[in-house]
Amino acid sequence: MAKCDFCEKSMVFGLKVSHSNRKTNRTWKPNIRKVKAVVNGTHKSVYVCTRCLRSGKVQRAV
């Protein structure tokens, strides 16, 4: 599960290009963490990207 529950950031698909210009498929995955957070006043375990954690979009449960 590589998807943030808050900003909907998910996997991105593209091509890896070698020095000889050969192209193969690859993916970029977001940095997802499973944290306990306060969602609508209750403590829930959610998957959150580190950018949402750092920016303060998610309030961690203590």
Tokens of 18: 């070698």
Is residue 47 situated within a structural domain? yes
Residue 62 banded pLDDT, cuts 50, 70, 90? confident
- In this prediction, residue 19 has a pLDDT band, given cuts at 50, 70 and 90, of very high
The DSSP annotation for the chain comes to --B-TTT--B-EEEEEE-TT--EEEEEE---EEEEEEEETTEEEEEEEEHHHHHHTSSPBP-
- Is 49 a domain residue? yes
Residue 40 lies inside a defined structural domain of this protein: yes
pTM for the whole structure:
0.78
Number of structural domains (the chain) is 1
Neighbours of 53 (CB within 10 A): 18
Cα separation, 24 vs 16, whole angstroms: 5
pLDDT at 32: 96
pLDDT over threshold 70, residue 1: no
Task: Decide if 22 is inside a domain.
Answer: yes
Task: Convert the pLDDT of each residue in 34-55 to its tens digit.
Answer: 999 999 999 999 999 999 999 9
Asked if 9 and 1 count as a contact pair (C-beta separation under 8 A), the reply is no
**Residues of the domain holding 42:** 12-55
